[in-house]
Structure 1
């Protein structure tokens, strides 16, 4: 996967969580290949639910040691673009998510990207003035019957590009799997977005 990403020569890389699954993993060893990623405008990561099953510090530390900027309820400037990162545990409840976005103090009159693991509350991000939300989490269901359940839970935000108010939402089905290492009705993907 790292070789495939590198061949594209991306300007920036956004990782919306779930690099790890489970608690019995050597986080440093698993993050080692990420050190090969290069992007002139940086590599950004927010924790997903699988990093946050327990104490996520070892995962986040390993990702940071690999040269990736771990975003946690903060904003960074990227060549005039505001990149906002909110990890899974701070975006699952609408009220708390709204408070977190408000506390970040981003400029709603300027372009912004919100990196958050799941498309749980896009209406909150849209109301806050985010331009584009990037998420994953759904795996597009991964296999039947979860494909149906994911579509029911996430509706139009389960996969691909959609819109809510003035905000666009892109949800990727991700490159990996959860549980059994198979997919049926959802292919793994790496997404390339071009901004003009």
Structure 2
């Protein structure tokens, strides 16, 4: 099994990363600080002092934990929840600033106006963080979708495909969650189960215990492709590890399902980041994945990022299955995701032939929160046109 560590990024890139992280951290903490500890609120000095100390500690701790201790699971268990809380604070400070302006126009004076907005902001954040943690840690709900593929042979009409994506096994041990998720998939009795990448954050040696329940997924066919996060923890090792769990790793390859004379192709490509990862022989190669496919074969393509759909359209793929977006994970982050990806979640159509299904994912990355972006196990039923 390959265990070579990814090459370290150049010094210049690390300096830029640290600078950007410091700037982002400053914005994330400064905006809610002035929303909660607004001068107009005229809070008693102990409240101002306590708030200043808390925000200053968070502002210093977040970049330190993410950079200096970036390989420490213990540091990540502190940094990621902190990042999630401050993001919710930041976003909802901007929302409540609208209310602040409305109250000012209505003639509501300080300190009552500033205190009212601060208390409301704090209450909103407490509720949303509690909701977000519960939503992130629950067994994903099942989302059922019928997908019509005009070129699908009628012999495969009704084929069910359970889609997992973005399990992100990581610093927070979710072995029990993994077992429950596998049980939920098995309860659906699907014909095919796919994992569309971002299996874990870390190496198989670190996260193999959390991924172990995937060996018990029951289906006639189980397919897996790498996501961008596998390339931070040795994607080749994960491909081999999943093969050891009984999954077919589609490393720019395809497999043909047959029912009598009817054929249905499941193909998969490496994540697009594989080409720059330093792992030899990795990178999305759709031509290689489709080599030998017949012109009249219906094709289901596993590609981690929805942005690959343009290539799928040009290659005549019938259905692309993706993840990556998490549906935004924590509102309103989906607006930023939409700048990079053509779709954030759900079924969409592209070109004359190609359908794209983008899963919101089963797990979470980083902050253990999901706010207005619930996790999912997708059960797709393929229908002949």
TM-score, length of structure 2 as denominator length: 0.47
In structure 2, C-alpha distance between the alignment counterparts of 1:43 and 1:64, rounded to whole Å: 10
Alignment of 1:128-139 (within 5 A): 128-139=315-326
Does the 8 A contact of 1:91 with 1:120 survive in 2?
Answer: no
Q: Which has the larger radius of gyration?
A: 2
In structure 1, C-alpha distance between the alignment counterparts of 2:202 and 2:190, rounded to whole Å: 29
Change (3 A) 1:107 1:140: same
Deviations, residues 33-57 of structure 1 (Å, cap 9, x unaligned):
01111102x1000010111114223
- Give 1:23 shift: 4.4
Change (3 A) 1:24 1:84: closer
**Who is 2:264 aligned against?**
81
Q: Which moved more, 1:14-23 or 1:76-85?
A: 14-23
Q: Return the structure number with greater helix share.
A: 2
- Give 1:138 shift: 0.5
**Who is 1:35 aligned against?**
215
Alignment of 1:95-174 (within 5 A): 97=284, 100-103=285-288, 104-105=290-291, 106-155=293-342, 157-165=343-351, 166-174=353-361
Change (3 A) 1:129 1:71: same
Change (3 A) 1:172 1:108: farther
Does the 8 A contact of 2:231 with 2:273 survive in 1?
Answer: no
SS for the counterpart of 1:169 is: strand
In structure 1, C-alpha distance between the alignment counterparts of 2:327 and 2:239, rounded to whole Å: 25
TM-score, length of structure 1 as denominator length: 0.89
Deviations, residues 35-94 of structure 1 (Å, cap 9, x unaligned):
111102x1000010111114223322221111111111011101210111101036889x
SS for the counterpart of 2:228 is: coil
In structure 2, C-alpha distance between the alignment counterparts of 1:14 and 1:186, rounded to whole Å: 21
In structure 2, C-alpha distance between the alignment counterparts of 1:136 and 1:164, rounded to whole Å: 17
In structure 1, C-alpha distance between the alignment counterparts of 2:274 and 2:322, rounded to whole Å: 11
Does the 8 A contact of 1:140 with 1:151 survive in 2?
Answer: no
May I ask how many residue pairs the two structures share in their alignment?
190
**Who is 2:363 aligned against?**
176
Q: Which has the higher contact order (CA 8 A, sep 6+)?
A: 2
**Root-mean-square deviation (Å):** 2.0
In structure 1, C-alpha distance between the alignment counterparts of 2:215 and 2:308, rounded to whole Å: 32
